[in-house]
Amino acid sequence: MTAPVFVDTNVLLYWRDSRQPAKQSRATAWLEHLWREQTGRTSTQVLSEYYVNVTRKLVPGLPAGDAWDDVEALLAWAPQPVDGALLRRGRAVVGRYGLSWWDGLIVAAAQAQGCSLLLSEDLQDGAAYGGVTVRSPFTLSLGEEAAAYGAAPAAVARHRPRGRPKR
């Protein structure tokens, strides 16, 4: 099985946006692939953003009941909760890479779930953030995903541990 793949809000929105048929088709293909491989991951932040944008900003908007059905289905991906640990990790990501707060939380959630690939159109295609590489689902082919993005390497501390030396 390949490594988990984190899906950002914009991919979910294109899945439901009939005004952009080419992007809708690619987003649908990616989501179907991730369901089939059982490698899709996301966060509660993404699901919240999706629900608000798909019901209020998308034209034509999705009825609230249909949007909730999507969210309910995506709960099967065990979305990363926004908790104290994620906020701390997000702050570290923002400080290290200079991302916006919301993008930092997305990267932090992908890291927390062991994702080596983050599908997003909002972040720079090809950028790498601590073991997570951002790729646009509209430029990355489905076959490339499995070969190029294996399991994320474990983080290795670059600093000596604090405190007294062990004897």
Cα distances (Å, whole numbers) of residue 51 to 9, 18, 57, 81:
9, 17, 10, 16
Q: What is the pTM of this model?
A: 0.85
Question: Would you give per-residue pLDDT tens digits along the chain (167 residues)?
Answer: 479 999 999 999 999 999 999 999 999 999 999 999 999 999 999 999 999 999 999 998 999 999 999 999 999 999 999 999 999 999 999 999 999 999 999 999 999 999 999 999 999 999 999 999 999 999 998 877 654 554 444 444 444 555 554 55
Ramachandran sector of residue 98 (left: φ over 0; alpha: ψ -120 to 50; beta: rest) = left
CATH code of domain 5-148: 3.40.50.1010
Q: Which two tokens stand for residue 126?
A: 């090809």
Cα distances (Å, whole numbers) of residue 126 to 10, 14, 33, 137, 144:
17, 20, 21, 11, 13
In the chain, domain spans: 5-148
Instruction: State phi, psi for 30 to the nearest 5 degrees.
Output: -65, -45
Reported in sequence order, the residue ranges of the chain that DSSP labels E, i.e. its strands, are: 5-7, 40-41, 117-119, 128-129, 132-135
